Amino acid sequence: MAALQRGRCVLQTASLFRITLLGACSPRDVARRGVLQPVGVRWCSGSEDSGSSGNYLTRFWNRMRGEKAAEKQDNGSGSGQGASSGTAGNGMIVVKPPEDRFRKVLAVELSRRPLMPGTAIPVVVNNRKMIKELQELKNASGQAYVGAFLRRPEAEQLQQQENEPGSSLWLSSTGGGMEIVSPNLKRDAASHLFEVGTFAQVHMILPNEGADPAQLLLLGHKRIRRMSVVNSDPLRVTVQTLKDQRHDNDDEMKATMMEIVSTMRDLFHMHPLYTEQLKTLHSFGIGANLNHVSRLADIGAGITSAQDVVLQEVLEELDVPKRAHVVLMLLKKEIDLVKLQQQIGKRVEEKISKDQRRYFLMEQLKSIKKELGLEKDEKSALIQKFREKFSKYEDGAPKEAKSVIEEELEKLSALEPASSEFGVTRNYLEWLTSIPWGHFSKEIFDVEHAIQVLDEDHYGLSDVKDRILEFMAVGLLRGTTQGKILCLVGPPGVGKTSIGKSVARALKREYFRFSVGGLSDVAEIKGHRRTYVGAMPGKMVQCMKQTGTSNPLVLIDEIDKLGRGYQGDPASAMLELLDPEQNVNFLDHYLDVPIDLSKVLFMCTANVIDTIPGPLLDRMEVIRIAGYLASEKRWIARKYLEPQIKEATGVPEGSVEMHDDATDVLIEDYCREAGVRNLRNQLEKIYRKAALKLVKKGAKGPKRQEVHSHQKGAGDMEMETSDEEGAASTAAETSGTSPSVVDEGLKSVPETEPPKEATDKASYDGAPIVISAKDLADYVGAPPFKSDRLYATTPPGVVMGLAWTAMGGSTLYAESAVVEKGAGKGSVTCTGQLGEVMKESATIARTFARSFLFSRDTDSDFFSDHSIHVHFPEGAVPKDGPSAGVTLVTSLLSLAMNKPVAPDLAMTGEVTLTGKILPIGGVKEKTIAARRSNVKRIVFPEGNHRDYEELADDIKSGVEAHFVSEYSQVFDLALGHSAEEARANGPSTV
């Protein structure tokens, strides 16, 4: 701080971290405004104050050595200022202590540090009444005095407790202690302040422009004790002046004083902030009394950074030797803190200097090598490559990605290529700059185009196609196809995966497929941490890099077969990936930068939905694909499969003819599953054997074409194209490149000659091979089964049921037979690899059949005296489900009544102990299975009537469905009447 020149009033500012002058005014502005009072301020000549901080130190130590005349004071008295004044020989305006006249003073609250006698601190005061009264005192008498008291640290907590309902705590203190007084007594307005404070002169009042009314600059004089409260607004208290206890000025005291002075001198030389504090003290003339131990200890405590409570204890201590000892300890601790600060600063400065020096040397080295051509700067080229790659997507990249890429590029430029971290950073930047941030491919919503694409790729599946077209129509109206996750559920081979590819082609979206069947590692979805060796990002990041767009169609295959291992739960990780509310900021562990996946169209495939976790299934819209009828399979085989297989096997057109009856037998006896994958395999086997027969009969493969070349200056030369040239031509056709472009690389082909194809198709001139139904055994062997119907006429105890499996619908027989007969030997044994649900159904069926038979024939003891064995054929196939209850009851009653069931009748449904028929699932699959087995009548629960009505007419063709709600209706259809009567009396016939 600059001192005021040419005899003007000097006011030094406090230290940077402990005392700050108030307001935005400089000392010269303050002096110009006239707010400084001449009382207690030292007047200095310009030559005295214009020197450096060394002048202050010199005058300070001169006072310590007694070279200046000391003022005559009593032991323990301070340099207070009173109402009357005189001029001392050192140029100070000396006033008498005013504390004897002021017994009632305004109480100023100090929030952090107590005011030590002989020091000055700024204080913010919020009470406008107090500021107004102080201004009036300053204007009237030129002086204003207050009592400065530190706020107790516990006051805020107790204030909160007091504000709680039913609480009325208040503080009482004696000396430095504090206690909670009974809530029945009244709390005074100053109980939140320490009792011992400082009698202080208001040296300056600076009004504020903000919310706080004013700021005060207080000069401490004497220790005081608060006695009582006069009024609370503004807070005014009665005080009593405290005097230091008498002490002997012995050698120990002198040594303590000298050590304090020495320590303070070390502080002044070690850190410039303490020198600034010394200037402030000197500007107020406080240094004149530093030869007294009491004042020296107070000033020493005031310049330390000790805690508020510790300084309050120093303020309350009246034993001067003890106070001096405590202050000496605080000063020593301050020395240690300054040394530690210097060590930290030195270490930081050395590190910065070392890094800067290394950076400058490295830059110089690179420049020298570049100028001399000794080394190619591959690192700079690599960084330039990353910047060029990212420049294409920089406009659409989020701020987080831009920031991370820039930081990694700077990091890469500072790393050595030989370091291991260089490779990690390089791979990280490869992925970051390869992602198409904000780059989207343009999709189309042409419904006519979508219908054409779906019909080209798939036959049938009208309900599935309609749902996909509805999905696209909604996307057209909304402008986006987001918001729904389609899940295609059906047996294997029905075309779920190929439907997803067709949808991508119809929308003109990039297609990406990955299978999660058996996936047990969460890192496959969310990526590895970069700290691991060989870390890679997740599938979605790989998808975006591979497709080059941020809105591809992603097909997640086999989602019902997700695994779970020690690496985590992938199904839970799928939630963040598929949920439209979460994937806006999808976080890959490898990239560690949010990626927007909200524009990605997700489709999933599954065979069953039972194993899909509920929260994951809840986010999907399920589209079921039941399978194909025999007529649909025949059309698919003719229109799609056979042309593809002929081309794949190289069979010439018209050389093999497969009759319709052979196709029908192949479908009925060899390929009964819901899908067409096995049908394709069987057709491939047939055409492979046919190809062998064609070769034996003289079929020829594709001919090699000869390409003639004419070179200038040489004779005509014939040159046969090599295999590599033929492969190049084939590759050109596949990629859509003009053959002439490929032929330009062949020097032997002149540009004037038209290009010729390198290969031709196979040829066959003999009679075509005809494949009929009777020839199938020679091509694909004997059929694995003739029919789903094991019985032409069903014996008593045998009933045909309908079942649904992951492979589609199928018929399932329930067989019952008597094992032995005897009183009390009634029991049921079940076989056929049954699950727990079907075992329970068998127990319920026996109980209900016994009750039902007893209601029809009270004398019958069949179930109590006969041991019955119930079996479901094909025991190698697991079976489970509740829909076999009706079939089991009918089988047991048929056995008990020794009456067969009609062979063209099949049934399904869950039965209760009271005979209620509950609805089941898989109506479409079970209807298709019944038609495949030539079943004419089907018994369905009444609750499935609507599901049956929604089936296509070609599926329901030739089938008569009966809908029942009570088992008595099933009994009438199966055992109670003839077939004609059952059709006439059925409760509901379609």
Query: Known catalytic residues?
Result: 883, 926
Cβ-count burial of 880 within 10 angstroms (0-12 exposed, 13-18 middle, 19+ buried)?
A: middle
What is the C-alpha separation between 810 and 103, in angstroms, rounded? 108
* Under 8 Å between Cβ of 721 and 708: no
d(CA 578, CA 574): 6
The C-alpha atoms of residue 933 and residue 811 are separated, in whole angstroms, by: 7
At 678, list the tokens.
Answer: 């096995």
Coil/strand/helix, residue 651: coil
Cβ neighbours for 50, distance < 8 A, ≥ 6 positions apart: 3, 5
Whether the CA torsion 611, 616, 618, 619 is positive or negative: it is negative
Q: Is residue 834 within 8 Å of 901, Cβ to Cβ?
A: no
Q: Of 205, 215, 200, 51, which Cα lies nearest the Cα of 126? A: 215
Of 629, 930, 944, 899, nearest to 800 by C-alpha is: 930
Give me the half-sphere count of Cα atoms (radius 13 Å) on the Cβ side of residue 377. Answer: 19
Secondary structure of 21-40 in HEC code, one letter for each residue: CCCCCCHHHHHHHCCCCCCC
φ, ψ at 772 (rounded to 5°):
-110, 180
DSSP string covering 308-324: HHHHHHHHH---HHHHH
Contact status, residue 987 vs residue 962, Cβ threshold 8 Å: yes
Distances (CA, A) of 502 to 418, 469, 508, 878: 48, 12, 10, 35
Which of 934, 675, 666 lies closest to 805, judged by CA? 675
Whether residue 722 contacts residue 788, with contact meaning beta carbons closer than 8 Å, is answered with no
Q: Which of 528, 542, 532, 462 is nearest to 499 (CA)?
A: 462
Tokens at residue 173, please? 């203190």
Return the exposure string of 715-724: e unless at least 16 CB atoms fall within 10 Å of the residue's CB, then b: eeeeeebeee
Cis amide linkage into residue 783, ω under 30° from 0: no
How far is the C-alpha of 440 from the C-alpha of 596, rounded, in Å? 12
Whether the CB-CB separation of 37 and 95 falls below 8 Å is answered with no
Beta strands in 705-797 (DSSP E): 707-709, 717-719, 769-771
Nearest CA among 681, 688, 702, 672 for reference residue 771:
688
Long-range CB pairs of 760-764 (<8 Å, 24+ gap) are 760/702, 760/703, 760/705, 761/650, 761/652, 761/702, 762/650, 762/651, 762/652, 762/699, 762/700, 762/701, 762/702, 763/652, 763/699, 763/700, 764/652, 764/655, 764/694, 764/697, 764/698, 764/699, 764/700
